[in-house]
Structure formats: C-alpha cells, structure tokens
Chains A and B, each alone.
Chain A
C-alpha cells in the first residue's frame, strides 16, 4: 500500500516538475515524506510544520538565515527544528556552503538542546560519562543519516521532520543503551532483590509522592530537578518509575493485561515493589524530601 503511495507521489512530483514549479499550481511545493508506517500509510508532518515550510520555501536564503537567529520559540518567525531538517535535506544538490553551514549549526544547537544533561549538571562541569557519550553517538548517528540522505535520497530522516525532539530522544535511547553495554556498567541495584520481602522503609518511601503531579509543578526549576532525579536513577529503578506513573498494574492474574512485572521481565511482584521503593527513596533524597514517616 505504501509502495503504491510512494509511486503515486513520485509520479505526481514528476508531473509537477514537467509543468515547472509555477506551471499549474502557481507556487512551489513542499516535498512530501516518503516514510511508511507499519500499516502502510505514509508519515506526514504536523500541520503547523507544513504551514511554516510553505512560507519558508518562498523566502530568500538571506531571510531564512536571519530567521534562524530567532531564539524565541513563540515568535511566528521562529524556524521549527522540523523545518530546518527539511531545508538542510533540500540543499542536497547545492554547493552554497555558507547556507548549509548556517542550517547545520542551528540544527546541531537544537540537537544539543534536545539532549538532556544528567543529574543537574550544567554545561561547564563534567557530566555523566554515559550521557556525554550518548550525545556524541547521537551526533554521529545523525551525521551518518544526513550523509546517507545527501548521497541517496531516502526516508531515514523523515522521522525528524515529523517530530524532531521525539526522534532525537529515540536516538538517545539507543545510544545510551549502546554506551552502557560497551561500558558494561554494574548498576547499584545489580544484586537484585528478586526474593526479598519489601521492607517497611521501602514501602514508606513511596508514601504520598506523586511524581506525575511533581512534573506538573508551576516551577520549571523544580520540574527540572524532579526530571534530573528520575534520570539519575539506575535503569531498573527508573523503568519502574515510568510504569508507575503510567498507572500500570504491578501484577495481574489476567495474562492479557500488561503489567509492570511482565514489562520489566521479573518473576515476582515483590521485586517490582522493592525497586519502586528504592527508586522513590533515592528521588526523595535528591529532592531533599523526607519519608512520610519522617
């Protein structure tokens, strides 16, 4: 189904080219994405991205370069990251090096901004080795994809035109996993408490702390601290936290129901509870919040 769609698109594109850009549509057009979903349908950009692109392709490069300097994301002239990906891909047969460099630099700034730093560390101090390593891996992966896209137009970068921040997060996830595998890091929770009974301390650590609510705080600095505290957790604890925030049941006698125990691949629900307790205790420590019993 998708291949039919792509063939149609290519034919349509060729038809437009044969008429010239202004031949019968009266305007230049934004090239559609060619990546297919698993169900065979084509990916599409968000409506706001399409509208922005329709405006951008009518502008001179000078105007676009000037707009790249706008940092206020609420400005109507702000160039969305998804649009920068489109524009840089559109320079495939271009040797205007200065224009490419400006687009590339801004894209890398956006990429860098979309990659979180761990444990509240700022740019001028050393950060988590894994996060720094992952950022470089994301950069390398993105560069590889860009080079491939320039050599032979493909659809690998289409995801970045659909949702730049999300696609960047996906690359970061795979990069973090590779970095950890290579480093063969031993996590603090490695001696898993599969058979341990949850202690009262572990249970009370959860208490009334609702992380979903904390992440909705009006204070952006506090939200950032909560996010950092969660990101800093060992993998096994962090994953339980995410599933708890999703209100996924810890366990169920119904095999068709997805549970935390099944999702994280452990035998006992007690292991889930232990990890949940350990995670919340660490988060409380990071946020300087005492247990409910304190």
Chain B
C-alpha cells in the first residue's frame, strides 16, 4: 500500500474491508493514501457499520436468483478441460490390491466397489479416500475424478451368467457397500467415522 497507485480500487476496498479494525485510525490511513477513493471508502465504512448493526437480520434467500447465478456460472465457465480421467486401478497388480485391502482391513468386495465405481465417492470419509488414493499410488483428485463417472463393470472379474453382464445403473453409499460386503458392525463403524 505504500505506493500502490496502480492497485485497482476493488483491491484497495477489499483490503480495507478485511482489516481487523475499522477504527478512525484505519480509515484515516486509507483516506490519506487513497484520496481519490474517499467516497468509496466512506461508503464501505458505513456499509460495514450497518452490516454489523443488522447482521442477524437475514432476508430469505432469493432462490430464483441463486439458481440464475448457478446457470450464469455454468454458462460463463469454460468447459471443464476434459483432461483424460486416469483409471487409478489400471496399473495396479492384483497382488498389490490384495495388500491394499489387507492394509485397509476391508474385504475385496469393497475394493471392487471402488474399481467398478459403484460407490458414491461423496459418501466416503475423506481419510479413507486419501488412504485408498495413496495405496493406489494415485492422488485424491484423480481418484475422485475417476469415481465421478457412472458405474462400470469391474475389470478382471469373471462372470458366469446366461446374459451379458452389465454395470449397475446407480451408485450406492459407502455404508451400503460395507453392508453388502458383510463388513462386521464394529469395523464398519470405524470405517464410516470421520477420523479426528
């Protein structure tokens, strides 16, 4: 701020807004440094005062406005670079998967629930996602990107059936996956808990 004439007005006002104190000394300092922004600084100072005075009075959210802004974001946002989604399971040997499931203390069905993208990643505690990603020598971001796609047939699994096997249509929660895999109650609770 010592010589920041090139700073945009917005940056200066943002810096003022997040100052720890908005006392006279702070306002004086900004008025001295940015006399060309005196009107805006005084307006903001008043706005912050009125915000404090009426902070607990919140208007009901304008849901139409909220939805319109989401649509605006989607419309403005560049199409997400469809960076190739990496399959974190692709280069992991079966023996490594066995070691991983033992390390995580889960049945193989749980690992398959991830490799087939059957489980809804949003329902999985963050610590487990991290642990699994590390075990796959992948990253949390790559694993989440991979899991966001619809379920698929788990690779490397043999099927015996009259008809052609097909992937599940809908994802299931982590808890349901653990139940389906008959994970004992106590271990299931441990796996579902947020690690503090």
Q: Using CB atoms and an 8 Å cutoff, list the residues of chain A in contact with chain B.
A: 20-22, 27-28, 37-39, 43, 57-63, 65, 73, 93-99, 101, 104-105, 108-109, 112-114, 116-117, 122-123, 135, 139-141, 143-144, 146-147, 150-151, 159, 162-163, 165-167, 169-174, 176-177, 215-216, 220-221, 223-224, 226-227, 230-231, 235, 238-239, 241-243, 245-248, 258, 263-265
* Cα distance, A255 to B116, chains bound together (Å): 75
Q: Is the CB of B43 within 8 A of A235?
A: yes
Contact of B17 among A65, A159, A216, A247 (CB under 8 A): A159
Q: Does B4 contact A (CB under 8 A)?
A: yes
Contact of A264 among B4, B42, B134 (CB under 8 A): B42
Q: Would you give the shortest CB distance from A23 to chain B, in whole angstroms?
A: 9
| Cβ-closest chain B residue relative to A46 | B20
| Cβ-closest chain B residue relative to A95 | B148
10 cross-chain pairs, A with B, having the tightest CB-CB distances, nearest first: A38-B1, A166-B17, A61-B122, A242-B46, A170-B17, A109-B61, A170-B13, A93-B141, A215-B53, A227-B50
Q: Which residues of A contact B14 (CB under 8 A)?
A: 159, 167, 170-171
Contact of A108 among B13, B27, B70 (CB under 8 A): B70
Besides the known contacts A38-B15, A246-B27, 10 further A-B residue pairs in the complex with CB atoms under 8 A apart: A20-B134, A58-B194, A105-B67, A105-B70, A166-B18, A166-B48, A173-B47, A242-B49, A246-B24, A265-B38
Q: Would you give the shortest CB distance from B146 to chain A, in whole angstroms?
A: 10
Q: Does B6 contact A (CB under 8 A)?
A: no
Q: Mark B98-113, 1 if CB is under 8 A from A, else 0.
A: 0000000000000000
Interface size on B, residues (CB 8 A): 70
* Cα distance, A246 to B26, chains bound together (Å): 12
Q: Is the CB of A163 within 8 A of B17?
A: yes
Q: Mark B1-31, 1 if CB is under 8 A from A, else 0.
A: 1101000011001111110000010011001
Q: Using CB atoms and an 8 Å cutoff, list the residues of chain B in contact with chain A.
A: 1-2, 4, 9-10, 13-18, 24, 27-28, 31-32, 35, 38-40, 42-51, 53-62, 65-67, 69-70, 72-73, 76-78, 80, 121-127, 130-131, 134, 141, 144-145, 148, 173-174, 194-196
**Residues of A contacting B: mostly:** helix
Contact of A176 among B43, B53, B72, B195 (CB under 8 A): B43
Can you give 6 contacting A-B residue pairs, CB < 8 Å? A37-B15, A165-B51, A169-B47, A173-B47, A177-B9, A245-B46
Q: Would you give the shortest CB distance from A25 to chain B, in whole angstroms?
A: 12
A108-B122 contact, Cβ under 8 Å, with A220-B56, A245-B49: no
Q: Would you give the shortest CB distance from B175 to chain A, in whole angstroms?
A: 10
* Cα distance, A59 to B196, chains bound together (Å): 9
Q: Would you give the shortest CB distance from A180 to chain B, in whole angstroms?
A: 10
Q: Is the CB of A167 within 8 A of B148?
A: no
Q: Is the CB of B43 within 8 A of A238?
A: yes
| Cβ-closest chain A residue relative to B43 | A173
Q: Would you give the shortest CB distance from A257 to chain B, in whole angstroms?
A: 9
Q: Which residues of B contact A224 (CB under 8 A)?
A: 54, 57
Contact of A60 among B38, B43, B125 (CB under 8 A): B125
Q: Is the CB of B126 within 8 A of A58?
A: yes
Q: Is the CB of B44 within 8 A of A112?
A: no
Contact of B62 among A112, A150, A172 (CB under 8 A): A112
Q: Is the CB of A113 within 8 A of B58?
A: yes
* Cα distance, A258 to B90, chains bound together (Å): 68
